[in-house]
Amino acid sequence: MGICNGRVVIVTGAGGGLGREYALAFARDGASLLVNDIRREAAEAVCHEIVQNGGRALANSDDITRTDTAQHIVDVAQEAFGTVHVLVNNAGICRDRMFTSMTGDDWDEVMRVHLRGHFCLSQQLARTWRDAAKAGQPVDARIINTTSGAGLQGSVGQANYGAAKAGIAALTLIQAAELHRYGVCANALAPAARTSMTEGVFADMMRKPEDGTFDYFDPANVAPLVVWLGSAQSAHVNGQVFEVAGGMIALAEGWRTGPQIDRGARWVPDEVGSAVAQLLTQRRLAQPVYGA
């Protein structure tokens, strides 16, 4: 008996990396899994591993960026396991280039997979949960989104990815505010782990240690937080963004109104500079952009 016993979970991009570890960890804690990945064989391999260990899982390779196929994912999960309780939006891609070299396709594809991919499935399930709540049925649901340090602090060479991930962080706050009345909690995490998306840039830094010491960037390190957020135990946590790496869990502090000067009248352009200079001396410095 685990903390997710009886819960039904959809994980996207679950054929490898972080998504695979999430699916395996949820299954170990009693959940039934719909394992979604565009690589059908990879999704089936994860399901086979879950079933071999006594769990329940179903592979799916539908497109998460279309509303019709997103609805099909939900329908398949419900037909197989019953009510869906948790959605983990994990699938993503990178198309890294310096901003001046980035193509329109580089931009659009990253936005499609990350932002639209988070939108379509979330909306289909949110509507299901809203209708159930309005019908008087108990709802204890979770949306777990995936942002990134690139979205929270910025990252050189990742204008498209960082902008998409920043959008996901904002989407999480809005989902949390709008859906809580229906019994839905929405949270996000910014994981640092070794995956296929990090191989090109961070392969050396994230390499598995050969001396048997703690593998800080093992994607399995991120899974316990995700499983807990998907459990009934997390019902009091909503609208939060977590940074997680190795054995560290941190709560990200978002944008907020900082120092201010109000003159009570319209500013004269020539006087703005001195006011801004005063505000800059009072500010809390932001974390530096990655790679700057």
101 is annotated as an active-site residue: no
Statement: residue 206 has pLDDT above 70: no
Catalytic-role residue among 32, 161, 231, 234? 161
Catalytic-role residue among 148, 155, 231, 234? 148
pLDDT digits (tens, 9 = 90+) for 158-193: 999 999 999 999 999 999 999 999 999 999 999 998
161 is annotated as an active-site residue: yes
Q: What share of the chain in percent tops pLDDT 70?
A: 95
Question: What one-letter code names the amino acid at 255?
Answer: W
- pLDDT reported for residue 194: 83
- pLDDT reported for residue 204: 60
Q: Between β-strands 141-146 and 8-12, what pairing exists: parallel, antiparallel or unpaired?
A: unpaired
Nearest to 87 by CA among 175, 148, 199, 197: 175
* Per-domain boundaries in the chain: 8-251
Of 102 and 198, the structure prediction assigns the larger pLDDT to 102
Contacts with 38 (C-beta within 8 Å, 6 or more apart), sequence order: 15, 61, 63, 91
Residue 135: Cβ within 10 Å count: 8
Average pLDDT, rounded, for the chain: 93
Distance CA 158, CA 118 (A): 19
- pLDDT reported for residue 214: 74
Distance CA 205, CA 217 (A): 9
Contacts made by residues 61-69, CB under 8 angstroms, sequence distance 24+: 61/36, 61/37, 62/36, 63/38, 64/12, 64/36, 64/91, 64/113, 64/117, 64/120, 64/121, 65/112, 65/113, 65/116, 65/117, 65/120, 66/120, 67/120, 67/123, 67/124
Question: What one-letter code names the amino acid at 268?
Answer: V
pLDDT digits (tens, 9 = 90+) for 91-138: 999 999 999 999 999 999 999 999 999 999 999 999 999 999 999 999
165 is annotated as an active-site residue: yes
pLDDT-derived band at 197 (thresholds 50, 70, 90) equals: low
The first and second tokens of residue 173, run together, are 């706050």
Angle between helices 17-28 and 40-52 (to 10 degrees): 30
pLDDT digits (tens, 9 = 90+) for 30-58: 999 999 999 999 999 999 999 999 999 99
Lowest mean pLDDT among 18-22, 43-47, 207-211, 222-226: 207-211
pLDDT-derived band at 200 (thresholds 50, 70, 90) equals: low
- pLDDT reported for residue 198: 54
pLDDT digits (tens, 9 = 90+) for 245-286: 999 999 999 888 999 999 999 999 999 999 999 999 999 888
Catalytic-role residue among 122, 155, 165, 234? 165
Question: Selecting from 3.40.50.300, 3.40.50.720, 3.20.20.70, 2.40.50.140, what CATH number does the domain 8-251 have?
Answer: 3.40.50.720
16 burial type by CB count under 10 A (0-12 exposed, 13-18 middle, 19+ buried): middle
